[in-house]
Amino acid sequence: MAVSTTKRLQRHALSAALMSAMLLTANAALAQETPQASEDQQATELDKVVVTGSLIPQTTLETFKPVITISAEDIKNRGFNSVQEVLSNASVATGGVQGNQTSASFTQGAETNSLFGLPVGYTKYLIDGRPMANYPALYNGTDTFNNISGIPVELVDRIEILPGGQSSLYGSDAIAGVINIILKKKLDGTAISARAGVYKDGGGQSTRVSLADNFSLADDRLNILAGIQYENRDPIWGYQRDLTKQFNQHPLDNPATPLDGVPVASRDWLVFSPFTSYNFLDPANCANVADAFGGTTGLQTRPGRPAPYCGSMFTPGYRTVRNGKESTQVYTHATFDINDNAQLYADVLYNKETVDYHIGSNFTWWGTSVKWGYFYDPNLDDFFQLQRAFAPEDMAGGWEQSMNHDTSKSYAATFGVNGTFGDSSWDYDLGATRTEYKLHENSWARLADPINDWFETNILGPSQGLDPYFGVYQVYTPDYAAFYQLLPAGAFESFTTRTHSHSKTYDNMVRGQVTNAELFSLPGGDAGLAVAAEWGKEGWEYKPDALLIPDPVTLESQIWGTTSVSGEGDRERYAVTGEMRLPVWDPLTVSVSGRYDSYKAAGRTIDSPTWGVGLEFRPIESLLFRGKIGTAFRAPTISDMFQGASGFYSFVRDDLNCAIAGFDPDEQGCPQQFESAQYFGTQIGNPELEPIDADVWSAGIVWAPTSNFSIGADYHHWEISNEVLLQSASRLMSDEYNCTAVADGGTGLLDPNSGTCQAAFAAIDRNALGALQNIRLTKINIAKRELNAVTVDTAWTQSLGAYGDLHLAGSWTRNLKHEQQTYADEPTIDLVYDEFYTTDPKYKANASATWEKDQFSTTLYANYLGPTGNIVAFTTPVPTAYARDRGVGSYTTLNASLSYEATPDLLFSFVVNNLANRMPDMDLTYSGLTGEPYNSANYDVYGRAYYLEVKYVFNKD
Residue range 271-303, pLDDT digits in tens: 999 899 999 999 999 999 999 999 999 999 988
Q: Which residue has the higher pLDDT, 56 or 620?
A: 620
Q: What is the pLDDT averaged over residues 718-734?
A: 92
pLDDT tops 70 at residue 105: no
**Among residues of the chain, what percentage have pLDDT more than 70?**
90
**What does the mean pLDDT of the chain come to?**
89
Residue range 564-583, pLDDT digits in tens: 788 999 999 999 999 999 99
Find out whether 896 and 879 touch, Cβ atoms under 8 Å.
no
Conformational region of residue 556, where left means phi above 0, alpha means psi within -120 to 50, and beta covers everything else: beta
- Closest of 833, 632, 650 to residue 723, by C-alpha: 632
User: ∠ CA(398), CA(401), CA(403), 5° rounding?
Assistant: 120
Cα 325 to chain centroid, rounded: 17
285: number of Cβ within 10 Å = 13
Q: Which residue has the higher pLDDT, 205 or 43?
A: 205
Q: Which residue has the higher pLDDT, 464 or 38?
A: 464
Q: What is the pLDDT averaged over residues 394-401?
A: 88
Find out whether 86 and 75 touch, Cβ atoms under 8 Å.
yes
Residue range 232-263, pLDDT digits in tens: 999 999 999 999 999 988 877 655 555 557 88
Q: Which residue has the higher pLDDT, 606 or 44?
A: 606
Residue range 790-841, pLDDT digits in tens: 999 999 999 999 999 999 999 999 999 999 998 888 889 999 988 888 889 9
- Closest of 694, 713, 698 to residue 608, by C-alpha: 694
CA–CA gap between residue 473 and residue 495 (Å, rounded): 24
- Closest of 594, 602, 618, 633 to residue 703, by C-alpha: 618
DSSP bridge pairs for 643: 567
Find out whether 350 and 183 touch, Cβ atoms under 8 Å.
no
Residue range 731-772, pLDDT digits in tens: 899 999 999 999 999 999 999 999 889 989 999 999 877 889
C-alpha R_g of the chain = 30
Quote the pTM value.
0.89
The full 3-state SS of 558-597, as one line of letters, equals: CECCCCCCCEEEEEEEEEEEEEEEEEEECCEEEEEEEEEE
pLDDT tops 90 at residue 623: yes
Eight-class DSSP state of 323: -
CA–CA gap between residue 238 and residue 933 (Å, rounded): 12
**Among residues of the chain, what percentage have pLDDT more than 90?**
71
Query: What is the structure's pLDDT at 836?
Result: 81
901: number of Cβ within 10 Å = 15
Pairing label, strands 190-199, 320-322: unpaired
Query: What is the structure's pLDDT at 21?
Result: 35
Q: What is the pLDDT averaged over residues 59-77?
A: 83
CA–CA gap between residue 795 and residue 787 (Å, rounded): 27
pLDDT tops 80 at residue 52: no
pLDDT tops 60 at residue 927: yes
pLDDT tops 80 at residue 562: no
